[in-house]
Amino acid sequence: MWKEEPLAYRMRPTTLADIVGQNHIVGEGKLLTRMLKSNRLSSIILFGPPGTGKTTIANVVAHMTNMPFHQINAVSSGKKDMEAIVGQAKFEGTSILFVDEVHRFNKAQQDFLLPYLENGLIILIGATTENPYFEINNAIKSRCTILELHYPTPDDIYAVLERALADEKKGLGAVPIEVEEEGLRFLAQSCGGDIRAALNALEIAVRSTEDKEEGSLYIEASVLQECLQKKSLHYDKQGEQYYNIISAFQKSLRGSDVDAALHYLARLIEAGDLAVICRRLLVTAWEDVGLANSEVAQTVLTAIQSAEQLGLPEARIPLSVAVIEVCLSPKSNTAYKALDKALADIRAIEIGDVPDHLKDAHYSGASKLGRGVEYKYPHEHGGWVNQQYLPEPLKDRKYYIPKETGKEKRLAELYARIEKLRKQK
């Protein structure tokens, strides 16, 4: 009844038209399609998340061009493997070399391959989950067209699942199978864009369901839900996706989008990354809420201490409170921006000496040097006195530009009043 090869393997596309979710690359009139139609294929790098079809596209390209096709992994294959492939290419003619994890190419591999990319003997198709603009050396990158793949939509995946159920040769269509639509929709929505995972779950459900008397199968939605493996969210901490999630989390906090911040918090919690959650929450409380509601930093710190003591999964409770409060607090970055301006002046211009009246006068002979002689003690002048504190070259410098938001509005009013008094000098 069942074929030996996994359903996901059997359903692999053999033409560009079979590839779903990548119309921006393989659609009519798009770059890769034009390359193949004009028979002018050049070296390319395919990058995108796992399961988006990088290997599949490479195989389709090889099938459509009828060129010799060789496949290696940049980690496990060495220079000798490449020498053997180049040797075959010299005999067979221009050949396609598919390199998985191409970002892991070492210098020796690159140096060996580059001349054959230049003379056209080898056409490289590289695959990587990492951003090639960061991870691939210029020598290889400059000789390739970079194409980014995206996760297919749930509708794309649903169409593939329906095709697998109907296809009598490659799919499951040889046996009458009735599947609850709710279950198929669940697979399409919950597989994380991974068509392979959705097909594997469908096949497990079918194989584990007993035939009815008339030889047909009925698959309930609950069975499909049980068969879909939980998505792994343990990101490579050196990978781009990891930093994208962290960046989105912090920017959602800054942008006061509670729902987005909770979404990215959930992803980081699911990945078990408590340390990075706490650090990003705390820095956002100081960097982006700042003077508008400085008390929120203490709330966040308390939540972090509670989270660290509780550990996951209970840590999610204080963290959720902190995230919502940071999101909905008024925002101000004036404090650290003011300091950054002061730092920039120190590093870039002549800053001058500390004014004599502010210098330390707590030693014998200080007054003879003019140290502290003209200093006016503010408490003897009603709490504030008009005197110069900045060095002479910087005396008119303004670093702090307050915002009238949240609790900083009160500080802005006080600052404006002091500035008005200072100008009366």
Higher pLDDT, 357 or 144: 144
Residue 349 lies in a domain: no
* 49 is a domain residue: yes
Question: Which residue matches tokens 């068509």?
Answer: 195
Residue 123: which CATH number? 3.40.50.300
Asked whether residue 168 falls in the same domain as residue 129, the answer is: no
How far CA 60 is from CA of 13, 16, 49, 156, 335, in Å, comes to 7, 7, 19, 19, 56
What is the Cα–Cα distance from 423 to 406, expressed in whole angstroms?
27
Query: Chain centroid to CA 134: how far?
Result: 13
User: Contact 269/316 with Cβ under 8 angstroms?
Assistant: yes
Is residue 1's pLDDT more than 70? no
Q: Are residues 205 and 260 located together in one domain of the fold? A: no
Contact 299, 257 (CB under 8 A): no
Instruction: Please report whether residue 320 resides in a domain.
Output: yes
How many domains does the chain fold into? Answer: 4
Instruction: Examine the fold and report which residue of 197, 227, 257 is the final residue of a domain before the chain moves on.
Output: 227
Q: Decide if pLDDT at 51 tops 80.
A: no
Residues 43/67, Cβ–Cβ less than 8 Å: no
212 token code pair:
């009815």
| Residue 26 phi, psi (nearest 5) | -110, 5
Return d(Cα 48, Cα 371) in angstroms, integer. Answer: 66
Q: Is the pLDDT of residue 169 over 80?
A: yes
User: In the structure encoding, which two tokens stand for residue 189, read together?
Assistant: 């929505």
Pair (298, 397) in one structural domain: no
Domain membership of residue 27 (yes or no) is: yes
| Same-domain check for residues 245 and 322 | yes
CA distance 321 to 377: 45
Task: For residues 11 and 62, give the distance between their C-alpha atoms in angstroms, rounded to a whole number.
Answer: 17
Q: Give the residue-averaged pLDDT of 108-131.
A: 88
Q: Are residues 215 and 251 in the same domain?
A: no
Q: Give the span between the Cα atoms of 289 and 280, in whole angstroms.
A: 13
Domain assignment present for 15 = no
Residue 196 lies in a domain: yes
To 10 degrees, the CA torsion angle through 202, 207, 213, 214? 60
The pLDDT value recorded for residue 425 is 61
How far is it, in rounded angstroms, from Cα 388 to Cα 241?
51
What pairing do the DSSP bridges indicate for beta strands 95-100 and 122-128? parallel
- Domain co-membership, 40 together with 134: yes
In a domain, 374, yes or no: yes
Given 105, 120, 148, which residue is the final one in a domain?
A: 148
Question: Among the three residues 99, 120, 148, which one is the final residue of a domain in this structure?
Answer: 148
Residues 184 and 282 reside in one and the same domain: no
The DSSP string of 142-179 is TTSEEEE--PPPHHHHHHHHHHHHH-SSSSSTTS-EEE
pTM of the model: 0.61
Neighbours of 15 (CB within 10 A): 10
Q: Label residue 218 by pLDDT band (50, 70, 90).
A: confident
Same-domain status, 275 and 196: no
The CATH number of the domain holding residue 162 is 1.10.8.60
More reliable by pLDDT, 234 or 89: 89
pLDDT for residue 206 is more than 90: no
Question: Are 206 and 1 within 8 A, CB to CB?
Answer: no
Angle of CA points 103, 157, 36, to nearest 5°: 55
Q: Could you tell me the CATH number of the domain that includes residue 299?
A: 1.20.272.10
What's 107's DSSP letter? H
Residue 284 contacts residue 322 (beta carbons within 8 Å): no
**Is residue 235 over pLDDT 70?**
no
pLDDT: which is higher, 322 or 130: 322
The answer to whether the beta carbons of residues 150 and 48 sit under 8 Å apart is: yes
Mean pLDDT value of segment 242-256: 90
Of the segments 104-113, 163-172, 186-195, which one has the largest average pLDDT value? 163-172
Alpha-carbon gap, residue 52 to 44, rounded angstroms: 16
pLDDT interval class at 248 (50, 70, 90): very high
Tokens 């502010």 label which residue? 358
Mean pLDDT of 324-346: 92
Same domain, residue pair 131 and 188:
no
- Same domain for 197 and 101? no
Local confidence band at 365 (pLDDT 50, 70, 90 cut-offs): confident
**Burial label, 136 (beta-carbon count in 10 A; 0-12, 13-18, 19+):** buried
Please tell me the distance from the alpha carbon of residue 131 to that of residue 103, in angstroms, as a whole number.
9
User: 96 and 134 share a domain?
Assistant: yes
Half-sphere exposure of 323 (CA within 13 A, CB side): 26
Most confident of 10-19, 65-74, 316-325: 316-325
The amino acid occupying position 201 is: A
Q: b/e per residue, 190-207, with b = 16+ CB within 10 A?
A: bbbbbbbbbbbbbbbbbe
Would residue 373 count as lying in a domain? yes
> Which structural domain range is residue 316 located in?
240-328
CB 178 within 8 A of CB 77: no
Q: State the Cα–Cα distance between residues 416 and 422, nearest whole angstrom.
A: 10
Predicted local distance difference test score (pLDDT) of residue 237: 55
Q: Do 191 and 222 lie in a common domain?
A: yes
